Structure 1
Amino acid sequence: MSVKLEQSTIANASSLVLLQLFSRAFTFGLNQALVRLATPQTFGTAAVQFELLLSTILFLSREGVRNALLRSSVEGKKKHSNVALVENISLIPILLGVPISGLTALVYVQFASPSTASQPHFHLSVAVYAIAAILELLSEPLYIRAQNELRLNVRVRAEGVAVVSKSVVAFLVLALASGEWALVAFAAGQATYGLSLLVVFLGVYKGDINYVPKRVQTELHDNLTTSYFDTDLLNLSIAMTGQSVVKHFLTEGDKFLVSRLSPLEDQGGYAIASNYGSLVARIIFQPIEETSRLYFSKSLSSSSPKKPEKKGEDGVNSGSEQIASKVLSSLLLLFAHLLLLLVTFGPPYLSIATTLLLPPRFQNTSAPSILRSYVFYIPMMAFNGVLEAFFASTSTPSELKHQSRWMMVFSIVFVFAAYLLNQLGFGDSGLVYANVLNLFLRVVYCWSFARGYFGERGVGFRLSAAVPPRGVIGAFAWSYLVTRWSWKAYEHLPPKVLPQRNHIAVGIACVGICLVTCVLLERKLWRELAQVLRRR
């Protein structure tokens, strides 16, 4: 791995975290207002069903191409023909997205429940969401160019402007228009997001984009041939796009089931709980996952999907593979600490947090119980995100197909677990627990792949490297017992800050003890991270 790539990767991660922190802090305040302006039924339709519609269009149109092109090693100073072949592939999301958006919107409208379709301006809102998806896809070629050029500042600027614009527009329409325009308010916000992305990217690249694929002449065995796409990258894109269908169902399976099985009011509760529950995941883990995918793609693979050699010329495993193994192990170790933190302190203090965050009319929905299940869902998302980023960056088309077959099995397990938990009375939170099981199975699969990948190359990758020291585990275990005792002692008091101040003080003291223990016993890890950050 070059020094430039390492520095760019760290800069990417920190920039994305800052972007997510700013955008989520800004939208968090506006969302607090939005959930008080919109009814649970409207919020459920927009945040579950419309978001599912949008993510389906975007995921199926661009996910495979986006991940495949991260492996491209084509740079501006290479042959123009090679650059053009790759740029042609970056247009595929648009070519796919236009028909997919229209078809998906028609299918959704056709099968929408009567209670959903009877809401004011429902059909108009669906049409605007489909247009919003197309607007976002129009910026995809420039997004891919910025990623491959390691110009993450462009993406940070575009997404920052887009998030703020989306939130402001949705809030203004909700606040100024009558209640019957609530769905249109969310749709207008999403369309503003897509348009803002496109405008910023076009401004940065001075409109330097051609939406029509170019015919390119290339030389093969001294013969000139005409083609539109780089064959290896196209095949990889096709394989990853095919896998996206199964992966999308597993990723959004809970929303699929909630949108079909739960009443609109509970869908609103599910949506707000998901927004709050995954706030930490979106601020920290999403940037880590994306920059990990970029880092692993650039350092461990090329435009060819073939595996690199096991050994270097001197018979020693590649330095980039050693560093990649260390980076992956360190990330998993950090997420293990997160798991301990949430499991220890989440349940005793969630009732206080939900009283502060949730409006009164959402207290009687499924939101509180769903938030409790996120204690396990958030760390599992983190483990799965970084391991699947590694898998997507290093796997061959045949390995992608093999994973897809297993993911079909995981989807069956997810549906069965969701049904069983529903029968046992878990309600909507049972869907989250079923998703935890699904993510765990995917984590095990990708962990096994990573262990085999590094093992074939003579690089160590052990489970013990991702397990915190015994002293850290002991501190969290002691805190677990103390906070449960405090929880039991003060459970007769209202779940508000003042009545529960002594219980909160116990939690703060225990968190402090755990953090001090982590700093003292994990000094090597923090020192290594500090050294990497100083290289920026």
Structure 2
Amino acid sequence: MPEGEQESPRLLSASLSSASYLVLLQLFSRICTFILNQILVRLASPQTFGTASIQFELLLSTILFLSREGVRNAVLRSAPGKASQGQLVTNISLLPVVFGIPASCIFSIIYITTSPAATRSQPYFVPSVATYAVAAAIELASEPLYIRAQNDFRFDVRVRAEGIAVFTKSTVTFLVLALGRPEWALLAFAAGQAGYGLATLGIFLIAYGVREHYNFQKVIITNKENKQTTTFDPELLRLARAMTVQSFVKHFLTEGDKFLVSWLSPLEDQGGYAIASNYGSLVARIVFQPIEETSRVFFSKAFALAKDGGEDAHNALQTAGSLLMTLLLASMHLFLLLATFAPPYLPLAMSIFLPQRYLATSAPKILGAYIYYIPIMAFNGILEAFFASACTPADLRKQSTMMAAATAGFVATSVMFSRGLDMGDVGLIWANICNLGARALYAWTFARGYFTKSGFPRAVVPSLAMPPAHVLSVFAVAASVTRWSAHRNADAPLSIMAQKAHLSTGVVCVFACIAACFIFQRARLAEMTRALRSR
């Protein structure tokens, strides 16, 4: 097989390998976070936990997302295997450092000056915010090396860096909180985040070093008989600028619930919202966040490869369509599992993992809404990863118009659900579900149009993302049985021993659903396995 025709399979192989790396990373990261949260909710008050996990994390994500997201997505579009792109990618990867470090100072000052008096009055509030700003700057300093590892498919370096960073953050936060004075609570979270940034930067520096990664260098590009000296690839720079501008709207839509919670809700309710969000998104972050990230890498490189045309482009598009529908089918199974089993077993889980003082907050209702929020996050993440990989600047401008409408819709539905229908903080989750659903539908429409124009009109169709009727029937029966079991055991205490009959019913139903998936979808599973092995 010619070298060009082998490139798409190599990309898929590297992407699958990266997915396994990142799933292991997220598993380790979420286990550490889960254990840390179990400890922290018993050591820190809901007010402190809400400030750190909602407001400080929102400040950090705002600095990082707006500084680097556009550049990250743009450089993935650089053509694989072209040495001339190397220094141009390095140059553009320095932009998050150049603009992000001043941004961390500006956003921190804005946050301090606009925070309510109840928030500012907490001990060591300003030093804690300053420490978070420094932590963001340190993490941004590792961005050129992160992008290098991403483009080299060196996911082992990223896994090592983030794994050690998560362990460092958990250890430092716990030690300061457990051994320090009570008024150091906010500083404990800030010190943990600083440890995360230092560990991340340190591991990347060990892997790649400083040389040639932190200097802007001119590059001479030869185009036919013309030579041009430039610092940035014009196409990548335009794309990075467009994606960065759009990231302002996208960030508000992604984190809009936290913005509104931090402004509207008391600090103790912010703590309940934070713990519910951390627990509620556990499954999505362990499995679907790595899949979203690696699919973005694969789609970006595959479509860059497809620009060359020929048989290689045909193979890349065919593989991309197959992968997209496989991921959407997996998301549909996640939705079925959560909708079937989470509602009848959520009260028992909350009684085990949530301290009594958090049961009095909005956490229980928020966790109930997360049952439907998690699958929507998975669908939207995969579809927007495809969109970000295949779109042109013109497509981005169209999506920005849709994002502006989605922003207005999110604010309107948030007010309607939270205030008009008196749903409180849980109304923000349902507003987010509507918002993500609209965004996912837009990206799905784009994907269908993209493959139709490329000559693959049947590559993206709803039926390929739906399990067969027999599987849906088994899930429906399981949902009825588990809810009947929950009603039958409603008067029993919320403990494992008292609810053992209810738990046993759930275990049997879970195995029945999994068995149905394998039995009635074995032909498709075999087809997908053969396709992956052949590549």
Distance verdict in 2 for CA 1:286–1:313, change over 3 Å: closer
Whether the 8 Å CA contact 1:471–1:521 is kept in 2: the answer is: yes
Q: Which whole-Å CA distance do the structure 2 matches of 1:169 and 1:525 have between them?
A: 47
**Which residue is equivalent to 1:238?**
241
Q: What pairs with 1:344-359 in structure 2 (closer than 5 Å)?
A: 344-359=340-355
**Which residue is equivalent to 1:199?**
202
**Which residue is equivalent to 1:38?**
44
Matched, 1:142 2:145: yes
Moved more, 93-102 or 200-209: 200-209
Q: Deviations over 1:99-158 (max 9, x none)?
A: 211110011011101111000000000000011111001000010001111111111111
1:171 to 174, 185, 189: 174
Q: What pairs with 1:34-433 in structure 2 (closer than 5 Å)?
A: 34-73=40-79, 75=81, 78-79=83-84, 82-219=85-222, 222-301=225-304, 308=307, 313=310, 318-422=314-418, 423-433=420-430
Q: Which whole-Å CA distance do the structure 1 matches of 2:212 and 2:374 have between them?
A: 39
Q: Which whole-Å CA distance do the structure 2 matches of 1:96 and 1:233 have between them?
A: 17
**Which residue is equivalent to 1:495?**
494
Whether the 8 Å CA contact 1:317–1:458 is kept in 2: the answer is: no
Letter in 2 for 1:61: S
Q: Which whole-Å CA distance do the structure 1 matches of 2:326 and 2:503 have between them?
A: 31
Q: Which whole-Å CA distance do the structure 1 matches of 2:105 and 2:531 have between them?
A: 46
Q: Which whole-Å CA distance do the structure 2 matches of 1:159 and 1:515 have between them?
A: 32
Q: Which whole-Å CA distance do the structure 2 matches of 1:531 and 1:46 have between them?
A: 47
**Which residue is equivalent to 2:476?**
477
Letter in 2 for 1:174: L
Distance verdict in 2 for CA 1:321–1:219, change over 3 Å: closer
Q: Deviations over 1:156-204 (max 9, x none)?
A: 1111111100100000000110110010100011111111110000001
Letter in 1 for 2:371: V
CA positional deviation for 1:471: 0.4
SS at match of 1:245: helix
Letter in 1 for 2:278: N
Q: Which whole-Å CA distance do the structure 2 matches of 1:279 and 1:338 have between them?
A: 13
Moved more, 463-472 or 422-431: 422-431
Distance verdict in 2 for CA 1:176–1:392, change over 3 Å: same
CA positional deviation for 1:534: 5.7
Letter in 2 for 1:409: A
Q: Which whole-Å CA distance do the structure 1 matches of 2:421 and 2:133 have between them?
A: 38
Letter in 2 for 1:29: I
1:15 to 16, 21, 34: 21
SS at match of 1:491: coil
Distance verdict in 2 for CA 1:213–1:360, change over 3 Å: same
Whether the 8 Å CA contact 2:90–2:213 is kept in 1: the answer is: no
CA positional deviation for 1:317: 7.4
Structure 2: 5+ residue stretches without partners: 1-6
Moved more, 416-425 or 127-136: 416-425
Q: Which whole-Å CA distance do the structure 1 matches of 2:298 and 2:161 have between them?
A: 21
Q: Deviations over 1:278-332 (max 9, x none)?
A: 0111100100000000010011125xxxx848xx557x97121111111111111
Matched, 1:437 2:434: yes
Q: Please, what TM-score do these two structures have when normalized by structure 2? A: 0.95
Percent of pairs identical after alignment?
Answer: 54
CA positional deviation for 1:531: 4.3
Q: Deviations over 1:467-493 (max 9, x none)?
A: 110001001111111112122222222
Q: Which whole-Å CA distance do the structure 2 matches of 1:456 and 1:186 have between them?
A: 50
CA positional deviation for 1:249: 0.4
Q: Which whole-Å CA distance do the structure 1 matches of 2:80 and 2:310 have between them?
A: 24
Whether the 8 Å CA contact 1:475–1:514 is kept in 2: the answer is: yes
Matched, 1:525 2:524: yes
SS at match of 1:498: coil
Q: Which whole-Å CA distance do the structure 2 matches of 1:529 and 1:494 have between them?
A: 45
Matched, 1:6 2:46: no
Q: Which whole-Å CA distance do the structure 1 matches of 2:492 and 2:425 have between them?
A: 27
Q: Which whole-Å CA distance do the structure 2 matches of 1:267 and 1:532 have between them?
A: 47
CA positional deviation for 1:97: 0.3
**Which residue is equivalent to 1:455?**
452
Whether the 8 Å CA contact 2:144–2:213 is kept in 1: the answer is: no
Distance verdict in 2 for CA 1:377–1:143, change over 3 Å: same
**Which residue is equivalent to 2:515?**
516
Whether the 8 Å CA contact 1:40–1:268 is kept in 2: the answer is: yes
SS at match of 2:229: strand
* Count of aligned residue pairs for this structure pair: 526
Whether the 8 Å CA contact 1:74–1:83 is kept in 2: the answer is: no
Q: Deviations over 1:220-258 (max 9, x none)?
A: 564544322110100010011111011000000000000
Structure 1: 5+ residue stretches without partners: none
Distance verdict in 2 for CA 1:449–1:31, change over 3 Å: same
Moved more, 454-463 or 444-453: 454-463
Q: Which whole-Å CA distance do the structure 1 matches of 2:168 and 2:528 have between them?
A: 35
